[in-house]
Structure 1
Amino acid sequence: MSLTSRMLASAKAKADKKAQARKHITIAGAGPVGSLLAVMLARQGYSIKLFESRPDSRIKNIYQGKSINIAISDRGWLALAAVGLDKAVQQQAIAMHKRVMHAVDGTITEQAYGKKSQAIWSVSRAGINEQLLGLAEQEPLIELQFEQRLVDVDFNTASASFMHEHQLEKIAADLLFGADGAYSKVRRLAQETPRFSYQQTYMPQSYIELHIAANTDGSYKMAKNALHIWPRKQFMLIALPNPDGSFTCTLFLDFQGELSFASLTERAEVEQFFATHFADAMPLLENPVDEFMEKSANPLFLVQVDPWVINNKVALIGDAAHAMVPFYGQGLNCGFEDCRVLTELITAHQHDWSKILPAYQAQRKINADAITELAQRNFIEMSELSGQADFLLQKNIEAEFHKRHPELWTPLYAMVTFSPHLPYSQALMIGDMQQQVMQQIMQIPDIESCWQEDFVYQKLYQLAQTAFKKPSAKFCNKSPTRTES
């Protein structure tokens, strides 16, 4: 055998050995995060078994007629682009360039989310899940099974037992990922392991979904490319557009208390509630009183766990690791970012999982904690502040200052939503510093009349320079932004 032949044979043997050494991975949960994770790991050469407890939504409607919307922003698009699905998803999505606030008296105000080309996108959860499932089925290294109820996990070996039609099967694996959502069974089982900390906190608010139908000609009854908000301080109604001309609406209201789902039990009381607080929305909403009376309110809660990785064999990802409230629209985006960062760590650490999983937990937990905190805060911004003139003025000042000094100042919302390479934790830190600066600016006498004057921005520049004198605190937005096609 020639030297060249021996070298080729040796290289092939090494490649075969490396391929054989690639791990077998089980993923519990074939929702959007689990399906995306499966695709990313399969393309890294891993053999994937992807299990879902529910039926295949492409065959059986598991959403019971609900039109559940989710918001995708640049962090989510970056992850979808990594598997080549961004353009296909965008074809079924609607860009929302602004908030439209509806006051009690019917007055409408608007606030752009960012620059003219920037938007968050309204997407059907069922639709994007089905697109990801279709992509997963095309991968030869993925075995996808439905109606598989997780029964047990061995956190020392990563083996798991699944029940299907009264038949229990134990699945061996080198690693297991719990991508099974906010009510994760993997996480519940992990609570039985030593030194596993778990906290679940319920928000005062719960929610129900309502609906605005399209006009008879299929057109929209309100501005299409916007997220609509009816801010009412302790509660609010929001609406996201659908491709068929309708809007999916969500009413967030205290679960119990003087004005709450618990207190509104009589039809006359519910009618009065809507007539008093949402008079302008009543001609648009489809049977809101009936829907309110018939539906049970869904709880809002957030989850914090530590560790995310157990015995370097089992890891949590997505909502299973960091379920959050929906008020920043980052739940799915954060889960998708988990997947993208994990695959980048696989490459960086050359498939050494003894390094990958600890690095994954270290990088993602601090950022998940940050966006969870921001999501809680954003309820106040959406339900109360977004309807106040002072708040809207502050946002206008920040937007103008960003135009003048983009290297020094990017508004918090844009850092979270349109800067996918900036960690959430850094956005939170910078945002808190910015708020301290803006509190001083808003104290300028007669700021409502003089906010466009140069001296306001000169003072803001001086304050920002002082606040951000440390290089690490300065933010220069060099991240790519996504434009509407």
Structure 2
Amino acid sequence: MEKNTQLSVMGGGLVGCLLSLYLAKQGYRVDVYERRPDLRRTDIPAGRSINLALSDRGWRALETIGISEDIKKVAIPMYRRVMHDKSGHLSFQPYGQEGQAIYSVSRGGLNQALLDLAEAQPTISLHFQQQVLEVEVASNKVTMLDNSAGQEYQITPDVIFAADGAFSMVRLSLQKTDRFNYEQSYLDYGYKELSIPAAADGSWQLEKNALHIWPRGQYMMIALPNIDGSFTCTLFFPFEGDPSFQSLKTEAQVHGFFQEIFPDVTALMPELAQEFFENPTGSLVTVKCFPWSNAGKILLLGDAAHAIVPFYGQGMNAGFEDCTVLRGLLEEHQGEWETIFKTFQEVRKPNTDAIADLAVYNFIEMRDKVADPRFLLQKKIESKITAQYPDAWLPLYSMVTFSPDLPYSQALANGQRQEEMMRQLMEYIQTEEDYDRPEVQAFLQENLA
């Protein structure tokens, strides 16, 4: 049954589209306002977050709207990390148990699929090139700018859902209210997207079903596969210093640096210098704030509430999980917006804080530790523990990525306990064979059995 409450979703990206579909299924009329043009009819700008890593929390959200199987047809499973050292030697680290994978998907392709679904719903109206300028929080009056016509106008929806990203204009209005807490922190690193094209026969020039990492201590590059045989690479690199984005100023410097630091892949990147100078340099920001709601009339979610850096591959998955949690509360507390919003923020805030902290930690792990033989040995030992004590030990990455019913905050707490245990255990271990030593088995028996 259609409900009279008028809802507005600010932001037509991944989270905004999914949320609008959930609200429509609850019988609400929904207006979606997106600042950008309709990306289905517009070329996606080069060098801006083309690939995403979709994992179990995200898949669960897509299953509820019936498109998970369609998305899997254009997603590439990545079963392991492949680490490339400076000599071109490879080492490997599986993501989970056999058969478990994270999936490389196109951000634009997934967004287009969600827009198509939203457009097909008679109770969802999509409005493109419509920019939020300000929200009058007391009255819910929103001043909008129609970018196509250059005209301002106002709307006053009953409820506003802000899914308008890390630099949310709705959140900016809430920041002006009393006792609104806001924290924003940038890494000293930026990112730039580069590419490895498909081979002449259309095949992949690196292992297809893997996420490739070139860890180099203070910086790194990664590569994710695409359906067309290419890879999208992302260089995470200091803004300033030597080396840095600032220090590489000529094509010769770029080629010289890559040939020295990433020698096994530079020959596969024919447009390297052009992409390095033409593609934008993005920044890496973490946003934490509270409260996420106001008087049952405004709710922040997704990056507007909790932007995180991309190093756990959970930004989109966490935003989708927001929608999954909110959907359950909508069903439980029909139309009781203040109860829904307060419960939502109380449930989600500890978990999104946890994944934000984990994402920064994982940057250090990917950048520094995956090239460390002791770190790789520890991961092998953890895999043995999982096999021996499957009910008592699950690696932190698996808890976050492959356990959608486990809250992020609980995964973080469990991971911290396990890391302390591994610190003690690794004192007994110098090789993989040491796992069978009596003192190692006794330690495990005492702590896990």
TM-score (normalised: structure 1): 0.89
In structure 2, relative to structure 1, the CA distance for the partners of 1:53 and 1:308 (3 Å cut) is: same
Q: For each residue in 1:368-389, what CA deviation from the matched residue of structure 2 results, as whole angstroms up to 9, or x when unmatched?
A: 0000000000011101111111
Where does 1:442-461 land on structure 2 (aligned, <5 Å)?
442-453=426-437, 456-461=440-445
Question: Which residue, 383, 391, 400 being the options, matches 1:416?
Answer: 400
Kindly tell me the number of residue pairs found equivalent between the two proteins: 447
What amino acid sits opposite 1:214 in the alignment? A
In the TM superposition, what whole-angstrom CA distance separates every residue of 1:376-427 from its partner, at most 9, and x where no partner exists? 0001110111111111111111112112211111100000000001000000
Q: Which residue of 2 aligns with 1:144?
A: 126
Q: Distance in 2 between matches of 1:66 and 1:295?
A: 8
Q: Show the counterpart of 1:168.
A: 152
Task: Determine the C-alpha separation between the residues in 1 that align with 2:302 and 2:386.
Answer: 32
Q: Any stretches of 5+ residues in structure 1 without a counterpart?
A: 1-15, 466-485
Answering whether residue 197 of structure 2 is matched by residue 223 of structure 1, we say no
Q: What is the CA-CA distance between 1:455 and the residue it aligns to?
A: 5.2
RMSD between superposed Cα atoms in Å:
1.6
Quick one: which amino acid aligns to residue 156 of structure 1? A
The residue correspondences of 1:23-42 to structure 2 (distance < 5 A) are: 23-42=5-24
- Give the aligned partner of residue 112 of structure 2: 130
* Mean CA deviation greater in 454-463 or 194-203: 454-463
Confirm or deny: 8 A CA contact 1:349 1:355 kept in the other structure: yes
The residue type paired with residue 264 of structure 1 is: L
Give the alignment of 1:129-278 within 5 angstroms.
129-164=111-146, 165-278=149-262
**1:185-218 Cα deviation digits (max 9, x unpaired):** 1122222222222121110110111100001111
Partners in 2 of 1:448 and 1:402 — Cα distance?
15
What's the secondary structure of 1:239's corresponding residue? strand
Which of 349, 354, 373 matches 1:389?
A: 373
Q: In structure 1, what is the Cα distance between the partners aligned to 2:111 and 2:141? A: 26
C-alpha distance in 1, partners of 2:380/2:354?
Answer: 25
Inter-CA distance 287–64: structure 2 relative to 1 (3 Å threshold): closer
Question: 2:277 aligned with 1:279, yes or no?
Answer: no
- Structure 2 residue identity aligned to 1:434: Q
Q: Distance in 2 between matches of 1:179 and 1:68?
A: 19
Do the aligned residues in 1 keep the contact of 2:52 with 2:107 (CA within 8 Å)?
A: yes
- Is the counterpart of residue 363 in structure 1 residue 347 in structure 2? yes
Query: Do the aligned partners of 2:136 and 2:173 also contact (CA within 8 Å) in 1?
Result: no
Q: Closer, same or farther in 2 for the Cα pair 1:445/1:377, shift >3 Å?
A: closer
Alpha carbons of structure 1 residues 386 and 194: separation in structure 2 relative to 1, 3 Å = same
Shift of residue 450, structure 1, vs aligned partner: 1.4
1:425 corresponds, among 409, 415, 437, to: 409
- The one-character-per-residue Cα deviations of 1:352-382 (angstroms, maximum 9, x if unpaired) are 2121000000011110000000000001110
1:49 maps to which of 31, 39, 43: 31
In the TM superposition, residue 448 of structure 1 has moved relative to its aligned partner by: 4.3
Are the equivalent residues in 2 in contact too, given 1:24–1:47 (CA < 8 A)? yes
Query: Which residue does 1:475 correspond to in 2?
Result: none
Deviation at residue 453 of structure 1 after TM alignment: 4.9
Contact 2:429 2:435 in 1 (8 A): no
Point out where structure 2 has 5 or more consecutive residues left out of the alignment: none
Task: Give the match for residue 81 of structure 1.
Answer: 63
Cα distance change, pair 169–67 in 1 and its aligned pair in 2 (3 A): same
Which of residues 439, 449, 455 in structure 1 aligns to 2:423?
Answer: 439
Farther-moved stretch of structure 1 (136-145 vs 235-244): 136-145
1:61-119 C-alpha deviation (Å, 9 max, x unpaired): 14247571011000000011111111111111100000000011111011110011110
Shift of 1:311: 2.4
Is the CA contact 2:47–2:194 (under 8 Å) kept in the aligned structure 1? no
Taking every aligned residue pair, what percent have the same amino acid on both sides? Answer: 46
CA deviation digits over 1:266-298, x for unaligned, max 9?
Answer: 333323211211011112223223322334421
For residues 243 and 385 of structure 2, what CA distance do their matches in structure 1 show?
Answer: 40
Q: 1:289 aligns with which of 253, 273, 281?
A: 273
User: Structure 1 pair 461/256, CA: closer, same or farther in 2 (3 Å)?
Assistant: farther
Is the 2:53–2:104 contact (alpha carbons within 8 Å) kept by the matching residues of 1?
Answer: yes
User: Which stretches of structure 1, 4 residues or more, deviate above 6 A after TM superposition?
Assistant: none
Contact 1:155 1:311 in 2 (8 A): no
- Change beyond 3 A, Cα 1:382–1:451: same
Contact map agreement 2:48 2:280 (CA 8 A) in 1:
no
CA distance in structure 2 between the aligned counterparts of 1:263 and 1:110, rounded to whole angstroms: 32
The amino acid that maps onto 1:23 is T
Provide the rounded CA distance (Å) in 1 between the counterparts of 2:404 and 2:338: 27
Q: CA deviation at 1:159?
A: 3.1
More displaced stretch, 158-167 vs 192-201: 158-167
> Secondary structure of 1:192's match?
coil
Aligned to 2:87: 105
Q: What's the secondary structure of 1:104's corresponding residue?
A: coil
Aligned to 2:103: 121
Name the residue aligned to 1:7: none
Q: Distance in 2 between matches of 1:463 and 1:391?
A: 21
Residue 263 of structure 2 aligns to a residue in which SS? coil
1:447 to partner: Cα distance: 4.1
Say which is worse superposed, 254-263 or 205-214, in terms of deviation. Answer: 254-263
Which deviates more, 116-125 or 62-71? Answer: 62-71
| TM-score (ref. length: structure 2) | 0.96
Which amino acid is 1:338 matched to? D
Between the aligned partners of 1:65 and 1:320, the Cα distance in structure 2 is 22
Bigger drift between 267-276 and 90-99 goes to 267-276
Tell me the distance in 2 between the aligned counterparts of 1:24 and 1:457.
62
Structure 1 position 172, deviation (Å): 2.2
